[in-house]
């Protein structure tokens, strides 16, 4: 009876957590819907007097708005990609591993299993990266997210503002969302500013639209500042071919820690996220190369380009076989937990 109550309580808490996890998304949606109303109706249709100016403002606004909402939708509803079945322990291997009480033997068992897989990263102690929740050997750049309760390929962070884990399958969409968000806020701020000045000087009548226009400029500027910092940070990560987790915790390879282990050079680093075909770079369509299980590494490219070998290695890393608390970074390491 007591066990039943505990299970019911646990299920209720999980349900509440799932519902509450949509609150940040709901806040963003409400702000966007209000901004649409304030810009289209209160600014363009009520405040702006020139018909040509109305049309021009509305055309450019809706073009940006479509891509902004499209990329936000893709960031939210593109499911994180999980490791394929070959990285999971078989039923026999799982039983052998769980029944073995000696840690050193368990470690050797994982080493033997990993020899059959394209796995080159290790924990800080040099052990094979193993997830004891999902019962799988983690592919390179894969981490376990306790919010999503699964291992995510090329995990970057868990973002509450999209209520989703950002990783291999949707990192491109997340970057595009940040870019179009910055553009959206910048466009609103620049087109609203002249009318803000007119209201401030009393050149326009003090009607209801005044408060929408003034507040619209304030909100656009506030979001622009925070978003441009976050977008700039992720642009830097892309230029170095790093995830947020790898920026905070240096990946360890079989040869040791290497902060630039996946750095292939600026252009190739961008192509690792957006693909080779530049016509898809601005459109939220999946174009990232590979399957998310293995990635080209710096060491494999040094023979082709000796200049890549010039940078010095970084300091040691801590054990990678762990979870990261949500909200590790204020810059959106909302994070692998």
**DSSP letters of 275-288?**
-S-GGGSSS-S---
* Catalytic residue list: 159
| Residue 163 region by backbone torsions, left for phi larger than 0, else alpha for psi between -120 and 50, else beta | left
The interaxial angle of helices 103-114 and 91-99, nearest 10 deg, is 160
| CA–CA dist 317, 198 (Å, integer) | 56
Beta-bridge mates of residue 223 = none
| Pairing label, strands 143-145, 150-152 | antiparallel
Chain CA centroid to CA 127, Å: 27
| CA–CA dist 307, 255 (Å, integer) | 19
| CA–CA dist 19, 16 (Å, integer) | 5
At residue 185, the 3 state secondary structure works out as helix
């Amino acid at each position: 009876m007591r066990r039943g109550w505990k299970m019911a309580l646990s299920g209720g808490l999980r349900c509440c957590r799932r519902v509450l996890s949509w609150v940040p998304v709901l806040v963003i949606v409400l702000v966007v819907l209000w901004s649409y109303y304030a810009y289209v109706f209160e600014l363009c249709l009520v405040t702006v007097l020139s018909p040509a100016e109305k049309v021009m403002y509305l055309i450019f606004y809706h073009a940006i708005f479509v891509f902004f909402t499209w990329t936000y939708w893709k960031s939210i509803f593109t499911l994180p990609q999980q490791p394929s079945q070959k990285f999971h322990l078989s039923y026999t291997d799982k039983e052998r591993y769980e029944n073995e009480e000696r840690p050193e033997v368990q470690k050797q068992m994982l080493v033997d299993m990993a020899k059959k897989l394209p796995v080159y990263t290790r924990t800080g102690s040099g052990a094979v990266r193993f997830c004891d929740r999902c019962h799988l050997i983690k592919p390179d750049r894969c981490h376990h997210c306790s919010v999503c309760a699964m291992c995510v390929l090329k995990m970057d962070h868990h973002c509450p503002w999209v209520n989703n884990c950002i990783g291999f399958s949707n990192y491109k969409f997340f970057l595009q969302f940040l870019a179009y968000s910055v553009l959206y806020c910048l466009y609103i701020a620049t087109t609203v500013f002249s009318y803000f000045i007119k209201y401030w000087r009393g050149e326009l009548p003090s009607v209801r639209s005044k408060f929408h226009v003034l507040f619209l400029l304030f909100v656009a500027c506030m979001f622009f500042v925070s978003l441009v910092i976050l977008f700039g940070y992720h642009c830097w990560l892309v230029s170095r071919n790093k995830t947020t987790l790898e920026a905070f915790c240096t990946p360890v390879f079989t040869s040791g820690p290497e902060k630039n282990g996946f750095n292939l050079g600026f252009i190739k680093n961008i192509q690792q996220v957006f693909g080779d075909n530049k016509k898809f770079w601005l459109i939220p369509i999946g174009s990232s190369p590979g399957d998310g299980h293995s990635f080209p590494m710096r060491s494999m490219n040094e023979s082709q380009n000796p200049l890549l070998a010039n940078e010095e290695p970084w300091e040691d890393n801590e054990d990678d076989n762990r979870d990261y608390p949500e909200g590790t970074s204020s810059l959106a390491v909302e994070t692998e937990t």
